[in-house]
């Protein structure tokens, strides 16, 4: 297993209530020239966790931080008008929490942040450190 010291959370920039299936995500990333979807995990609105790129593979999700990181993306991130918004469902919040706990057991001491903490973007449209920072400190 490659060394991992950072987990980065993204949104798919999908409007609330809209479906953006994993196959579509995969196709869109291939169209951008990636070998496959850039994220390691994708969290559906109903809380399903889909592995998109095995953990042992370097993800393609944030410039300058791919090699030692894990990328997680949740389905959503835009309100009905297409504006950045925290659209996570309760099931998604629970799934993200479970996944983070799993990854922190696998990679102790890992940092957790949102895409916007590393780049000038709205993604993932919520404050990752405020919500999940306690996992890192506990």
Active site residue 121: yes
Per-residue mark of binding to Zn ion, 91-120 (x: CB under 5 A):
------------------------x-----
Task: Specify the residue, 43 or 123, whose C-beta has the smaller distance to Zn ion.
Answer: 123
CA dihedral (7, 13, 14, 16) in degrees, to 10, reads: 80
115 labelled catalytic: yes
Q: How far is the CB of 123 from Zn ion (least distance, A)?
A: 3
In degrees and rounded to multiples of 5, residue 59 shows phi and psi of -75, 170
> Are 87 and 123 in contact, with CB atoms under 8 Å apart?
no
- Measure the CA–CA gap between 68 and 6, rounded to whole angstroms: 6
Please say if 39 is a catalytic residue: yes
Task: Give yes or no for residue 123 binding Zn ion (CB under 5 A).
Answer: yes
Instruction: Report the Cα 114 to chain-centroid distance in Å.
Output: 8
Contacts (CB under 5 A) with Zn ion, residues 23-42:
none
| Interface pick for Zn ion out of 10, 29, 53, 88 (rule CB under 5 A) | 10
Is residue 132 annotated as a catalytic residue, yes or no? Answer: no
Percent helix / strand / coil, the chain, rounded to 5: 30, 20, 50
The contact set with Zn ion (CB under 5 A) reads 10, 115, 123
- The catalytic residues are 10, 39, 115, 121, 123
């Amino acid at each position: 297993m490659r060394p991992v010291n950072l987990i980065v959370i993204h949104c798919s920039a999908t409007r609330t209530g809209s479906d953006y299936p994993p196959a579509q995500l995969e196709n869109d990333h291939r169209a951008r020239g990636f070998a496959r979807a850039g994220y390691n995990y994708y969290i559906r609105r109903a809380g399903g966790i889909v592995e998109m790129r095995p953990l042992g593979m370097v993800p393609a999700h944030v410039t300058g931080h791919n090699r030692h990181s894990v990328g997680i993306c949740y389905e959503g991130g835009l309100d009905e008008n297409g504006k950045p918004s925290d659209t996570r469902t309760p099931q998604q919040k629970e799934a993200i929490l479970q996944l983070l706990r799993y990854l922190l057991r696998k990679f102790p001491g890992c940092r957790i942040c949102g895409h916007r903490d590393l780049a000038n973007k709205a993604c993932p449209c919520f404050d990752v450190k405020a919500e999940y920072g306690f996992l890192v400190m506990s």
